[in-house]
Chains A and B, each alone.
Chain A
């Protein structure tokens, strides 16, 4: 089967387009999260997404709208993590752990109540971008546009907060407002990424492309652009490879991301060796 044949399928075109949008906004947000040491939030929200999908399925919402229906619950969880991380008595990673545990616990209980593992829930655990619906494609595009426009307009504010939140506050930047925006967008990214990589690998979409880009030691803007490029490349190549080799797309995309990371990490270490 030639590349043209693969790309002629509607569902492949939809998957590549949605994958590119999701890869772009996940990696943009990922740069801010990784640098602010919130890398684990992807994992936390993925577990919450598991619980939220289980709730939505138990209610009996049509599979076409599960992603949309899951969003409010995951957004609320994201805000809960933000609120807990601001608490003086709870460390940031512990806050993520708390919300994450609640999500996974609710998920497990609901799965058990619905008579064991459910095939649909498995599709969310491992993801399948080739089944992306038109609604999800539009949603991905809207979130991509929202993320890109927000980051472009408020670039200086996000940059300052990422460098040093307290310092940004002394410059009159409304850090609380920008934190809420960042955490809400991350929640949406986590829910949509579950379609690409599955709940199990959501954090990979948020963490790996930024980490790869950071190995290149470039300026902040160039790091964001590089992260987006690595992420898009892994999604496009991953979907095509998965189709050709009959592999799960989510896993293939993540393995490619890891490949890019190891390449840049290795190259950086070799180049920085004393000669």
Chain B
């Protein structure tokens, strides 16, 4: 039986009395690759911030690795890549080497070498993070999430502003990590085509859960046809086909 890495029960989150997430429940199993999609303001990032303990919900229970969030301490089992590199302070005096080892109590030179090699940024190790291109910064940030070999990876809009080639390399790598290490991955993106191509399951959110299941089920679901309309559903599923044909 698959172990639940994350279980969310009846989660509700309000901001200034406006409900951002309304009574949602779902689980993520070990080794799953879950894509979370939804329109702007649908609560995708808010949901992830609740799971990571950055925001605190008014109602509901979250368990991570079988433990209630409130008593969870094994944060090194989670690698989180926030939606943010464009807000990075370009004058920050941190080298790639320092950023990749961010927050680590003990320096692990072998792990650092391996992860820099995996991301193809060994030559950038001593460069300041602010001096790098967006793509290089993102690779350094991804290296940071991978250095502890976490059991769960969470990516929030990780490829915004990346060129298509770097984007493909990024997602292929996440897929490889998911397959080779059985690492659970949660990916937030607007690009449902990418979810269809790489993720096993789709969670479509619009304050509440609209759909949770496989992409195939999403495309053949009459409920989703009713919700999105046939044209929109077709476009979403066609993106998926196009993405697959481009492999």
The CA-CA distance from A211 to B52 in the complex, in Å, is: 34
Stretch of A11-19, A109-117, A215-223 at the chain-chain interface: A215-223
Are the CB atoms of B93 and A223 closer together than 8 Å? yes
Stretch of B3-11, B74-82, B163-171, B201-209 at the chain-chain interface: B74-82
Whether B98 sits at the interface, judged by CB under 8 Å, is yes
Interface size for A (C-beta < 8 A) is: 25
Are the CB atoms of A35 and B76 closer together than 8 Å? no
Whether B239 sits at the interface, judged by CB under 8 Å, is no
Which residues on the B side are within 8 Å of A163 (C-beta)?
A: 92, 94, 99, 102
Are the CB atoms of B103 and A214 closer together than 8 Å? no
Are the CB atoms of A166 and B98 closer together than 8 Å? no
Whether A156 sits at the interface, judged by CB under 8 Å, is yes
Whether B121 sits at the interface, judged by CB under 8 Å, is no
Residue of B49, B76, B82, B92 touching A172 (CB-CB under 8 A): B76
Q: Give the one of A162, A170, A219, A223 with max B CB within 10 A.
A: A170
Are the CB atoms of A218 and B93 closer together than 8 Å? yes
| Per-residue B-contact encoding for A202-235, CB less than 8 Å = 1, 0 else | 0000000000011001111011000000000000
Residue of B53, B95, B104 touching A170 (CB-CB under 8 A): B53
Interface residues in A19-35 by Cβ distance below 8 A to B read: 35
Whether B105 sits at the interface, judged by CB under 8 Å, is yes
Whether A3 sits at the interface, judged by CB under 8 Å, is no
Whether B128 sits at the interface, judged by CB under 8 Å, is yes
Are the CB atoms of B82 and A167 closer together than 8 Å? yes
Are the CB atoms of A171 and B75 closer together than 8 Å? yes
The CA-CA distance from A253 to B102 in the complex, in Å, is: 35
Interface residues in B68-112 by Cβ distance below 8 A to A read: 73-76, 78, 80, 82, 84, 89, 91-95, 98-99, 102-105
The 5 closest A-B pairs by CB, nearest first: A172-B75, A160-B103, A171-B103, A223-B93, A170-B52
Listed in ascending order, the chain A residues whose CB lies under 8 Å from chain B are 35, 88, 156-157, 159-160, 162-164, 166-173, 213-214, 217-220, 222-223
Which residues on the A side are within 8 Å of B1 (C-beta)?
A: none
The CA-CA distance from A157 to B103 in the complex, in Å, is: 6
Report 9 cross-chain contacts, Cβ distance below 8 Å, ordered by A residue: A160-B102, A166-B54, A167-B82, A171-B76, A171-B102, A213-B93, A217-B128, A219-B126, A220-B93
The CA-CA distance from A35 to B53 in the complex, in Å, is: 24
Which residues on the A side are within 8 Å of B76 (C-beta)?
A: 171-172
Are the CB atoms of B92 and A35 closer together than 8 Å? yes
Listed in ascending order, the chain B residues whose CB lies under 8 Å from chain A are 16, 49, 52-54, 73-76, 78, 80, 82, 84, 89, 91-95, 98-99, 102-105, 126, 128, 131
The CA-CA distance from A222 to B95 in the complex, in Å, is: 11
How far does the Cβ of B239 sit from chain A's closest Cβ, in whole Å? 30
Q: Which residue of B lies closest to A169 (CB)?
A: B54
Which residues on the B side are within 8 Å of A213 (C-beta)?
A: 93
The CA-CA distance from A2 to B98 in the complex, in Å, is: 46
Are the CB atoms of B95 and A219 closer together than 8 Å? yes
The CA-CA distance from A253 to B76 in the complex, in Å, is: 45
Are the CB atoms of A170 and B54 closer together than 8 Å? yes
The CA-CA distance from A68 to B104 in the complex, in Å, is: 37
Residue of A156, A217, A220, A223 touching B103 (CB-CB under 8 A): A156
The CA-CA distance from A264 to B104 in the complex, in Å, is: 32
The CA-CA distance from A162 to B98 in the complex, in Å, is: 12
Are the CB atoms of B93 and A217 closer together than 8 Å? yes
Which residues on the A side are within 8 Å of B16 (C-beta)?
A: 88
The CA-CA distance from A223 to B16 in the complex, in Å, is: 40
The CA-CA distance from A35 to B88 in the complex, in Å, is: 11
Are the CB atoms of B105 and A219 closer together than 8 Å? no
The CA-CA distance from A173 to B99 in the complex, in Å, is: 15
Q: Which residue of B lies closest to A215 (CB)?
A: B91
Are the CB atoms of B80 and A219 closer together than 8 Å? no
Are the CB atoms of B103 and A168 closer together than 8 Å? yes
With A156-B104, A172-B73, A217-B128 already in contact, the answer to whether A167 and B95 are too (CB < 8 A) is: no
Are the CB atoms of A219 and B94 closer together than 8 Å? yes
The CA-CA distance from A182 to B89 in the complex, in Å, is: 20
Residue of B89, B98, B105 touching A220 (CB-CB under 8 A): B98
How far does the Cβ of B14 sit from chain A's closest Cβ, in whole Å? 12
Which residues on the B side are within 8 Å of A214 (C-beta)?
A: 91, 93
The CA-CA distance from A156 to B76 in the complex, in Å, is: 14
The CA-CA distance from A156 to B98 in the complex, in Å, is: 10
Which residues on the B side are within 8 Å of A168 (C-beta)?
A: 102-103
How far does the Cβ of A80 sit from chain B's closest Cβ, in whole Å? 23
